[in-house]
């Protein structure tokens, strides 16, 4: 079995649509692997909340490399849906290395440029947290 969690946040008007779209698209693309999903909504605020979409692939490829590739593809599919529908990618443990590759998708070139300028000002030798935040 392969499993993972996609952690996102959004405003109330977007949260349920993002969740439902992720579920529908994952089932559509990966039903041949017997994918199952479950959602956990939490961390409510005045403007929105978070959803943890758990996915379980019950019939994964036997080849470990193919299984890892499938996991990453499922994860990326859900992240792209989140960005397209106006959600924010998130992770309990920060963006870090796992989600850094999606920062440009989330914030665009202008946002990444701002992050690079801040990083350069605070860490001119680029030695703190190398590779984090997609930098």
Domain spans of the chain, in order of start: 1-92, 94-135
Which pLDDT belongs to residue 116? 92
Q: Report if pTM > 0.95.
A: no
Which pLDDT belongs to residue 135? 84
Which pLDDT belongs to residue 133? 80
Which pLDDT belongs to residue 105? 84
Which pLDDT belongs to residue 107? 85
Q: How would you class 5 by CB atoms within 10 Å of its CB: exposed for 0-12, middle for 13-18, buried for 19 or more?
A: middle
CATH of domain 1-92: 3.30.300.330
Which pLDDT belongs to residue 106? 82
Which pLDDT belongs to residue 132? 83
| Fold that domain 94-135 belongs to in CATH | Vanillyl-alcohol Oxidase; Chain A, domain 4 (1.10.45)
Which pLDDT belongs to residue 61? 97
- Mean pLDDT, each 10-residue run in order, the chain (135 residues): 93 97 98 97 93 96 97 95 93 70 86 92 91 82
Which pLDDT belongs to residue 94? 65
Q: Do residues 50 and 92 touch, judged by C-beta distance below 8 A?
A: no
Q: Do residues 86 and 14 touch, judged by C-beta distance below 8 A?
A: yes
Q: In angstroms, rounded to a whole number, what is the distance separating the alpha carbons of residues 96 and 131? A: 8
């Amino acid at each position: 079995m392969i499993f993972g969690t996609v952690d996102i946040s959004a405003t109330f008007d977007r949260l349920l649509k993002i969740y439902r779209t992720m579920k529908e698209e994952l089932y559509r693309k990966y039903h041949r692997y017997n994918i199952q999903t479950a959602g956990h909504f939490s961390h409510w605020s005045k403007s929105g909340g978070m959803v943890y979409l758990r996915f379980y692939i019950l019939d994964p490829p036997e080849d470990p490399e193919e299984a890892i590739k499938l996991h990453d593809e499922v994860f990326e599919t859900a992240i792209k849906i989140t960005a397209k529908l106006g959600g924010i990618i998130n992770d309990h443990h920060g963006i870090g290395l796992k989600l850094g590759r999606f920062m440009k998708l989330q914030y665009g070139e202008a946002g990444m440029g701002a992050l690079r300028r801040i990083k350069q000002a605070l860490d001119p030798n680029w030695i703190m947290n190398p590779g984090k935040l997609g930098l």
